[in-house]
Amino acid sequence: QVQLRESDPGLVKSSQTLSLTCTVFGVSLTTSAYYWSWIRQPPGKGLEWIGYIGFSGNTYYSPFFESRTSISRDTSKNQFTLQLTSVTPEDTAVYYCALTNGVVVVMPRRLEDFASWGQGTQVTVSS
């Protein structure tokens, strides 16, 4: 059974870099055709796809986030990490890591669009 678990971001202030790590249990990050995404849901809004790192280590980001986003991985720990620079209060949201198999979901409507997802972690950016 695949499980994903997001780290706790702690306190994040405007202009700082948000760093979140997703630890994956039950399957390897390098499993063929698996894509590991970061998504978020701001209060009162729908899901927003941020980007993914694929099974081969390739990355792709939403144009909306591309200029300040980096996703990397540590295969020895079976973790992948999101870094979002220059955060503002508008980056306040619940952040999720999620898995898709064989496809990439860039306009998710609901978490069930993904094969598996974490419980989410609340990120609040203070001004």
Q: How far is CA 100 from CA 36, 37, 112, in A?
A: 7, 8, 10
One pLDDT digit (tens) per residue for the chain, 127 residues: 999 999 999 789 999 999 999 999 999 999 999 999 999 999 999 999 999 999 999 999 999 999 999 999 999 999 999 999 999 999 999 999 999 999 889 899 999 999 999 999 999 999 8
pLDDT at 77: 98
pLDDT at 10: 79
Residue 95's Cβ-side half-sphere holds a number of Cα atoms within 13 Å equal to 27
CB proximity list for 4: less than 8 A, separation 6 or greater = 22, 23, 24, 25, 97, 98, 99, 116, 117, 118
Q: How far is CA 89 from CA 20, 42, 104, 116, in A?
A: 17, 10, 28, 28
pLDDT at 11: 83
Yes or no: say if 68 and 84 are a contact pair by the CB < 8 Å rule. yes
